[in-house]
Amino acid sequence: MGKKVLLIEDEPNIIEAISFILSRDGWEVKTHANGHDAMEAVRRRAPDLIILDVMLPGKSGYDILGEIREDADFAETPVLMLTARGQTRDREMAERAGANRYMTKPFSNADVLAAVRALVEA
């Protein structure tokens, strides 16, 4: 059984695509589709890596990342942020909030896979 990835994303098609790519590479993929209770999903799943969308219904990805970093159990968990808003300001906000990696949609599948691997192995 591979390492556990929690994907927090609200767009069903994107969830399906990322799940497909990571599963095929041997990752155990858990998904969560809204912002409200994302932190609870993190605690429940205790993932090795979190892939986090910025625009989520209920709570923004930045706020969720803040909560993750405040929680001692997950302060060191690598987080890959995905955003559809490709502005420099968003990248800065993500880095300030403590994201380990930041990727702009649309992405290449290979890049996502490489990033996930690199973040977990590091």
Partner 1 sequence: MTVLNLLILVCLLYVVLLFAVAFAADRAARLGRGSWLRSSVVYTLSLSIYCTAWTFYGAVGFAARSGLEFVTIYLGPTLVMVGWWWTLRRLVRVGRSQRITSIADLISSRYGKSNLLAVLVTVLAVVATTPYIALQLQSVTLSFAAFAATDPEATTLPDMQSTALWVAVGLALFTILFGTRNLDANERHHGVVMAIALEAVVKLFALLAVGVFVVWGLSGGIGPTLDRIETSPIARFDVSGSRWVGLTLLSAMAFLTLPRMFQVLVVENEADEHLRTAAWAFPTYLMLMSLFVVPIAVVGLDMMPNGANPDLFVLTLPLMEGRDGLAILSFLGGFSSATSMVIVAAIALSTMVSNHVVMPLWLHYSGMAAVVSGDVRTVALMARRLSIAGVLFLGYVYFRLSGGGTALAAIGLIAFVGVAQFLPALMGGLFWRGATRTGALAGLVLGAAVWLYCLFLPSFGPSAILPQTVFDHGLWGQSWLRPRALFGAEGMDPVIHALMWSMLLNISAFILGSLLSFPRPLERLQGAQFVNSLDNPGTPGGWSGGMAQSEDLLIMAQRIMGAREAQTLFSAAAQRQGVAGYLPEPSPDFLQELERALAGSVGAATAHAMVGQIVGGAAVSVEDLMAVADETAQIMEYSSQLEAKSQELARTARQLRQANETLTQISVQKDGFLSQISHELRTPMTSIRAFSEILRDTQDLTPEEQNKYAAIIHDETVRLTRLLDDLLDLSVLENGQVELNIQTGTLKALLDRSVRAAGGDGNGFRIRRTRASEQVELTTDLDRLAQVFINLISNARKYCDAKPAVLTIRATISDGQLVVDFVDNGSGIPTDKHAVIFEKFSRIGQTKASGAGLGLAICREIMERLGGDISYLPGQEGAAFRVTLPLAPGRMAAA
* Residue with smaller CB distance to partner 1, 2 or 57: 57
For residue 92, count CB atoms less than 10 angstroms from its CB and return exposed for 0-12, middle for 13-18, buried for 19 or more.
Answer: exposed
Q: How far is the CB of 72 from partner 1 (least distance, A)?
A: 28
Q: What is the footprint of partner 1 within residues 87-116 (CB under 8 A)?
A: 87, 104-110
- Asked if residue 84 lies in contact with residue 52, where contact means CB atoms within 8 angstroms, the answer is no
Task: Candidates 7, 27, 35, 52: give the one binding partner 1 (CB under 8 A).
Answer: 35
- Pairing status of strand 4-8 against strand 28-32: parallel
What pairs with residue 29 in β-bridges?
5
Question: Binding residues for partner 1, per CB under 8 A?
Answer: 10-11, 13-14, 16-18, 20-21, 24, 35, 55-60, 84-87, 104-110
